[in-house]
Amino acid sequence: MVEELEELEELEELEEELEKRDNEYEKHIKKIRELGRKILLSHHNRLTSRFEAVVEVTDASPAAKHLLNKNEGSAPEVMFRVYCPECKKVRTLLIFPSRSNVVLRASCIHTLDVARRAAKRNGCTLVFVGKYRVIPAGLAALLGEKILG
């Protein structure tokens, strides 16, 4: 009788461990799927952004300089989805900042022209807008982003 109770307790403990492993496995699979989705979206947006322009950088804010120095002269790409009034569609705008220049890529020539003009306005000063995002100050004003540094 005592042996049967001990065996039942052991079985219950094993079942709990299996449930715990299953939950961890499900969480791991969700993380992998989310990462895969992000990679696919990034790849898709890079392919659709066919039009490219390079804008020379004149200065950077202290926070932007710190981030650029930390990442050896470049910062992570920044992606925005913007509305193009001429095409009447939502388009992709990618920004690749570095110490010397900013590469703008867009899926629409109209969006690229507007972004290039906004980036060149008052010189091209890079500013920090949060979440490791560095963009030109004129572009931050155009997109309505709050400048943090």
Q: Which pLDDT tens digit goes with each residue over 30-87?
A: 899 988 888 888 877 778 889 999 999 999 999 998 888 887 777 888 989 999 999 9
Split at pLDDT 50, 70, 90, the class of 19 is confident
N-terminal to C-terminal alpha carbon distance within the chain: 72
**pTM recorded for the entire structure:** 0.73
Provide the pLDDT for residue 11.
79
* Closest by CA position to 77, among listed 103, 38, 55, 100: 103
DSSP 8-state secondary structure symbol assigned to residue 86 = T
Provide the pLDDT for residue 8.
77
Which of 27-31, 35-39, 107-111 shows the highest mean pLDDT? 107-111
CA 54 – CA 52 distance, rounded (Å):
7
The pLDDT mean for the chain works out to 88
